[in-house]
Amino acid sequence: MQPTTLFYILIAIIIINFIKDKILDTLNTKHFDDKIPDKLTDVYDEKEYKKSQNYKKTNSKFSDLTAIFSIILTLSFFFIDGFKHVDIFARSYTDNPILVALIFFGVIMLGSDILTTPFSYYKTFVIEEKFGFNKSTKKTFWVDKLKGGFMSILLGGGILSLIIWFYQIAGENFWMYAWALVAVFSLFMNMFYAKLIVPLFNKQTPLEDGELKTAIEKYAEKVGFTLNNIYVIDGSKRSTKANAYFSGFGSQKRITLFDTLINDLETNEIVAVLAHEVGHYKRKHIIFNLFSSILLTGLTLFILSLFINSSILSEALNVSILSFHIGLIAFGILYSPISEITGLIMNYVSRVFEYQADNYAKETFAAKPLITSLKKLSKNSLSNLTPHSAYVFMYYSHPTLLERINNLEK
């Protein structure tokens, strides 16, 4: 194959992906004003429903705008040989392949961050603010950005350096070492994320004694679930939107409740949400997700190892010196149709798991408080109650509210 052919294949993949997103968004937008299903008419009153429609439309326009901006930028970068220029820039400082790669990705990340920050700023302080969701101060916004940046430099840079080092010493077989590294790192992060990373951004406090804790303990005992770690996180520092999640396993397993969730829901509704989370654990979803993502990483790294030595990847991007980082960019785009498909499968599995966790909560606790809690959470985040089924199929990690309620009432 000619390098130019590969170049145009890369461009085609980017454009097709953009068109696919656009079609799905348009389908979804067409259903914004659908009649609300009978079972969900009590989620919003007239005024709130109007507000939710307005929110959907505002977000949809905004994401149209960002998508167009991003594709114009990406394509321009390809056509002006952006990768080549950044590669030359990085090589003007050093010949060390690891340092060249770090400077290369550093420049690209920094550039893209500078260009996209105005959008995330607008999203937080104009859109979310207008609809009453935003609680973040400007200081929190910038401090988050800074901390996030340091984290990516430290973790991303560290992992990238190690992988290139493996490539230097093991050649094509680097993928096995890289896989082991990523697997150990994922396991470690899954175990200690709540202890090491979350405190950088949020305050977590053990749930106080009281009615809620007693109710939770009573439930945990009933289902034979040892739960020593129930934490409340100050989600209200950034947004009024509520959430709860499960993390870790073994001795490190913990349930984290957003303070906003505790404010919005009644005690038995919170226990129902928690029962759903326990369901994820009991049905082994946490372990399944972790291992399937590790397996998938192995597969991706293996396929990468088949391509990384071929100079056509670099030549397609008009870079004369064959290097790991340029190969990674070209491969990343070539691989994206496959990752679309694996993503689709993961979303499907995730939706099946959500039903299983809901069923677990229904069997071991009750369906009704879970239904009312889901309705309240949908209302408080101005959720779209009438998404298009194709959109749900492609992007939703959870079944729609209506589907979940139908399942719970079965």
Q: How far apart are CA 44 and CA 301, in angstroms?
A: 47
Our measurement of the distance from residue 360's CA atom to the centroid of its chain's CA atoms, rounded to an integer in Å, reads: 25
Residues 326-355 that bind Zn ion (CB under 5 A): 354
Catalytic position from the list 264, 315, 354, 358 = 358
Minimum Å gap between C-beta 243 and Zn ion is 10
247 or 305: whose CB is closer to Zn ion? Answer: 247
Residues 18-37 that bind Zn ion (CB under 5 A): none
Minimum Å gap between C-beta 20 and Zn ion is 27
- The pair phi, psi for residue 323, each rounded to 5°, is -150, 160
- Per the annotation, the verdict on 64 as an active-site residue is no
Q: How far apart are CA 1 and CA 307, in angstroms?
A: 13
Minimum Å gap between C-beta 216 and Zn ion is 17
Measured from the Cβ of residue 361, the count of other Cβ atoms closer than 10 Å reads: 26
| Residues in a beta bridge with 205 | 232
Number of residues that bind Zn ion (CB under 5 A): 2
CB-based contacts of 59: which residues, under 8 Å, 6+ apart? 127
86 or 244: whose CB is closer to Zn ion? Answer: 244
CB 287 within 8 A of CB 66: no
Residues 98-127 that bind Zn ion (CB under 5 A): none
Per DSSP, the three-state class of 232 is strand
- Per the annotation, the verdict on 113 as an active-site residue is no
Q: How far apart are CA 148 and CA 298, in angstroms?
A: 26
CB-based contacts of 382: which residues, under 8 Å, 6+ apart? 48, 51, 52, 55, 56, 131
CA separation (Å) from 239 to 128, 131, 202, 221?
Answer: 8, 11, 12, 33
357 or 370: whose CB is closer to Zn ion? Answer: 357
Q: How far apart are CA 259 and CA 376, in angstroms?
A: 15
192 or 355: whose CB is closer to Zn ion? Answer: 355
- Burial (0-12, 13-18, 19+ Cβ within 10 Å), 170: middle
Choose the stretch contacting Zn ion; rule: CB under 5 A; options: 55-63, 94-102, 258-266, 357-365. 357-365
Minimum Å gap between C-beta 5 and Zn ion is 44
Our measurement of the distance from residue 28's CA atom to the centroid of its chain's CA atoms, rounded to an integer in Å, reads: 20
212 or 275: whose CB is closer to Zn ion? Answer: 275
Q: How far apart are CA 86 and CA 63, in angstroms?
A: 28
Minimum Å gap between C-beta 186 and Zn ion is 20
313 or 401: whose CB is closer to Zn ion? Answer: 401
53 or 359: whose CB is closer to Zn ion? Answer: 359
Q: How far apart are CA 179 and CA 184, in angstroms?
A: 9
CB 191 within 8 A of CB 249: yes
Q: Which tokens go with 200?
A: 């950088």
Minimum Å gap between C-beta 220 and Zn ion is 17
Minimum Å gap between C-beta 356 and Zn ion is 9
Minimum Å gap between C-beta 266 and Zn ion is 19
265 or 334: whose CB is closer to Zn ion? Answer: 265
Catalytic position from the list 264, 277, 315, 354 = 277
Q: How far apart are CA 131 and CA 189, in angstroms?
A: 34
CB-based contacts of 156: which residues, under 8 Å, 6+ apart? 105
Residues 248-307 that bind Zn ion (CB under 5 A): none
**Catalytic residue set:** 277, 358
Residues lying near Zn ion in the complex (CB under 5 A) are found at 354, 357
